[in-house]
Amino acid sequence: MIETNCPNCGAPIRFGSNDLPVKVCDYCHSSVLRTGGNLQAIGKVAEVPEDVSPLQLGVRGRDGDRRFELVGRVRWRYADGAWNEWLALFDDGSTGWVGESMGRYMMLRQVAENALAPVLVDQVKSGRLIAVGTPITINGIEYIASDAKQVTCVASEGELPFHAPLGLSAVSVDLMTPDGGCASIQKDTGGEVEIYTGRYTALAGLNATGLRSFEGWPMPAFAA
Amino acid sequence: MSDDVRIPDPAAPPTTAPTPPSPPRSTVRALSCPNCGGIVNVRAQGLTVSVLCEHCGSTLDATSPDLQVIARANQALKQPQIPLGTRGTLNGRVWEVVGYMERTDEDVFWAEYLLFNPYEGYAFLVDDGRRFSLGIMLDQLPKTMLGSLLLLDRRPYSRFGRSYPVRVTFVVGEFYWRVAVGETVIETDFVRPGTMLSCEEYETERTWTRLDMLDWGVAEKAFGIPPRRRNYHSPAPHEPSPYKRQFAEAVVVGLVALFLLGMVSSMAGREQQIIQVTSRVAFDAAGRNVVIRGIVLPAGRSRVAIEADAGSIDNAWVNVDYTLTNEATQRSVRSYTTVEHYAGNDSNGAWSHGDPRDEVALSSMPAGRYDLSVTLVAHRWNRRGGDSVPTTDEERAFFAHRTRDPGDRIATTVADPGAATAPVTITVKRGGAFGGVTFLAFLMIAAWPLIVVFKHLGFEKRRKAPSYSSGD
């Protein structure tokens, strides 16, 4: 853990993980990049708009028997809506993402690029979209493409593995299996293809504590 | 004055980035409609994509910070039966009504409420005008079996009719997708009693929803509207037959009744011999009358069986008339029978015909003392070419046997074919199976399950009849 001050506004900032190079300052919303011992404010990011997500930074949860804490969030937008991706920092230092869309949750972890057939990686890199309904095998598991869309970053907060300025765009393909498994293939602006696999889960399945409370809504039994 | 004194804990890490505890905020955010200025309550901020102002009907873009108008409208909107913002508890979960739409397949119309809970996400409350179903979007794909069968959670669902277009006819409230009146999706339904899997296809998207039918009155009670009246005239495709349970009950009750019937009829049905009398009657002479007095029938109503056995007659018949008279009331019941036996040889070989023994049953006889009067009239059959002396080998052997063993009981009851009289044994029995009565009781017991079965089949026929013409 590194505790220091924002190079832009001087507010105290904290890097909880040595492996996450970006931290959005809670006060001035500067994106602070840490390279070695150097800190650099590389631009401002938009404040995350108010939403009714029960998740927030600091929520602790469990994926199977591995505990994590939500340390960062990127909010993405596409033509017909928006969703959150929460960065989960596991106790062993590894990271995963909790996707939150339309009131549903996905627990995802990045897998190596070679989990996907090179021809498909090339297809995504070349910008040709994968048609909905296409069967795609990742690490030996067959998924069906359920959605493919162009997305842009709306806002971000907390610690992140990359700088997520407003307007950062990506191509995102969602996939699912008959038994609740899901995957996501993303191509960022640099043309890099990233592959994530995981599963759909109810909020209860995250075994989360520290959820946000809302006026007039009882905290569900599983989070009490 | 506060007594709360905070002592710094040296073990605790210094708080570097103090985050102020955020007080619980309301999920509802009141905005004003940029078209009509009316208050628009956004209940799922951040998730809601479209808002339809309930005052003017304008479609607003909830993904823009200031609710940009997408489609301007100025019309008074009708109110959904369950008003927006109403909360209700279904299956232990609190839901708030945030959106309402009406849809049609061009044949029937139905309503769908969009329900929201910040911790549970979304659900649909579908109202077909009779019954409510609770829909949850699936986060898994059902497996396709043999074309028209689907498998979800190891349960089969059968396809209901063809895919059909579904059009939105009315919308108000907020939705997590872009809604518009006139928007059409292609829907395909798969059903099993109580549950429907509905697949909606729109452009490149395909979503699966699982709809569970709620019991009568559950949704109405949860959201505070008057309960719907039960009727089964036009069932929903996934409506469980209300007769299935009734049928199970009818079968159980029927089986118990059948068991009891069996017990009663086997107990009451045990035959009891009251008396046996043997009398000889002369052939082709005046009849003989035998009177048996003092036959006692117990309380209730019982069956009386009277058997006439003229076992030994050959080529002869005996007319038997019975009169059973109640000694007290002198009411009598009459019955008769004929016992007969004929045998001989012709060009086709040996033949025999007739039964020298017959039973007459009188059911439901009231209790009391009875006299039985039996009139016997015996006749010999005058065969052409009369072979009244044993001529065949068989007959010769028979008589030889009789001669050799005069003490044989059978032999003694077998009359000489040429004898002038025939012995007739009358046996009076009480009780015995009430064939007709038992069958009637069985029919009555079976009537209820049968009626329920027909009702069930009728319900299933109506349920499976596609209610929409566009799909055919």
Would an 8 Å CB–CB cutoff place A224 in contact with chain B? Answer: no
What was the pLDDT predicted at B89?
A: 95
**Which residues from chain B sit within 8 angstroms of residue A98, using beta carbons?**
none
- Contact indicator for B49, B62 with CB cutoff of 8 Å: yes
ipTM metric: 0.90
User: What DSSP assignment string belongs to A110-123?
Assistant: EE-GGGB-HHHHHH
Strand, coil or helix: what is B236? Answer: coil
Region label for A154, one of left (φ > 0), alpha (ψ between -120 and 50) or beta (otherwise): alpha
**Residue ranges in chain B modelled with pLDDT below 50:** 1-18, 385-391, 395-396, 399-415, 468-472
Q: What is the pLDDT of residues B227-254, one digit of tens each?
A: 999 888 888 888 888 888 888 888 888 8
How far does A3 lie from chain B, in Å, by closest CA? 8
H helices within B306-392, ranges in order? none
Confidence of residue A88 (pLDDT cuts 50, 70, 90): very high
Beta carbons of B70 and B51 less than 8 angstroms apart: no
Residues B134 and B195: their CA atoms lie apart, in Å, by 10
Name which of B139, B151, B155, B199 to mutate to probe chain A: the one with the most chain A Cβ atoms within 10 A of its Cβ: B139
Q: What is the pLDDT of residue A114?
A: 87
Judging by beta carbons within 10 Å of its beta carbon (0-12, 13-18, 19+), is residue B197 exposed, middle or buried? Answer: buried
Residue B253: predicted pLDDT: 84
Quick: pLDDT tens for B268-307: 666 778 889 998 888 888 888 999 988 888 767 778 889 9
Partners of A159 in the β-ladder: A23
Query: Binning pLDDT at 50, 70 and 90, where does residue A6 land?
Result: very high
pLDDT of residue B374: 94
Structure tokens at B72: 């301007």
Chain A residue closest in CA terms to B65: A49
Q: Are the CB atoms for B119 and B95 separated by under 8 Å?
A: no
CA distance A29 to B361: 105
A69 touches chain B (CB under 8 A): no
Which residue bears the tokens 């729109």? B202
Task: Give the predicted TM-score (pTM) of the model.
Answer: 0.71
